[in-house]
Amino acid sequence: MAQDIHIQRALKHLRKADPVLEKVIRKAGPFRLNLRHDRFQALVHAIVSQQISGKAARSIWERLKNAAAPMSAATIRTLSIDELRKVGLSRQKAAYILDLANHVGDGRLELRRIGRLTDAEVIDALVAVKGIGVWTAQMFLIFSLGRLDVLPHSDLGVRMAIQRLYGLEELPNRETCHRIAEPWRPYASVATWYCWRSLDSL
């Protein structure tokens, strides 16, 4: 219920602050974000999905869930690189997932307590894991922790949407994204979601 109130405030703010986004909100309809409550699985899934098609990622993910059931840092740590590769992971991704499991398992990354950290602290904690960069950490902030003011300025979809919506000649860089997004604060995550939705009509 509290989250619903925050979303209503966010939509009211964005409609008033940005006429361009107001049109997107009107066309796209209600804001819907299904949070991924299992934080470990969310991060593993993010690593699995890097730089491959959605279909391939789904196939590998299902095989990995079966191999490591019930999936947790503890079960992943019982598997070797070669066993992880058998589900379709590259050697590099298998190493990344094991590194994540080790960080969680030995307490270097406390996922149960990570929600108490600031956005910047969450990003710092996550990028210490091999295979997790700033973009993946930002997706975790939005889709697992439900943080409302995250702007993934390097996300290609966000950049494409900003270019199209604001009539730019080329894809915006970091500085341009943040300048355009300034009126969105403190609800940049909600605005980002609508940027993604605006691409659905392309």
pLDDT at 31: 94
pLDDT at 202: 56
Mean pLDDT across the stretch 117-143? 97
Task: Tell me which residue of 17, 46, 66, 35 sits closest to 143, measured CA to CA.
Answer: 35
CATH 1.10.1670.40 domain span(s) along the chain: 2-33+150-201
pLDDT cut 70: percent of the chain above it: 98
Q: What is the set of active-site residues?
A: 155
Is a pLDDT exceeding 60 seen at residue 30? yes
pLDDT tens sequence across 135-144: 999 999 999 9
Q: Are 77 and 105 in contact (CB under 8 A)?
A: yes
Is a pLDDT exceeding 90 seen at residue 149? yes
**Out of 3.40.50.2000, 1.10.490.10, 3.60.110.10, 1.10.340.30, which CATH number does the structure's domain 39-143 have?**
1.10.340.30
Is a pLDDT exceeding 60 seen at residue 2? no
pLDDT tens sequence across 58-114: 999 999 999 999 999 999 999 999 999 999 999 999 999 999 999 999 999 999 999
The reply to whether CATH 1.10.1670.40 applies to domain 2-33+150-201 is yes
Residue type for position 126 = L
Is a pLDDT exceeding 90 seen at residue 8? yes
CATH 1.10.340.30 domain span(s) along the chain: 39-143
Residue type for position 49 = S
d(CA 13, CA 18): 8
- The model's pTM: 0.92
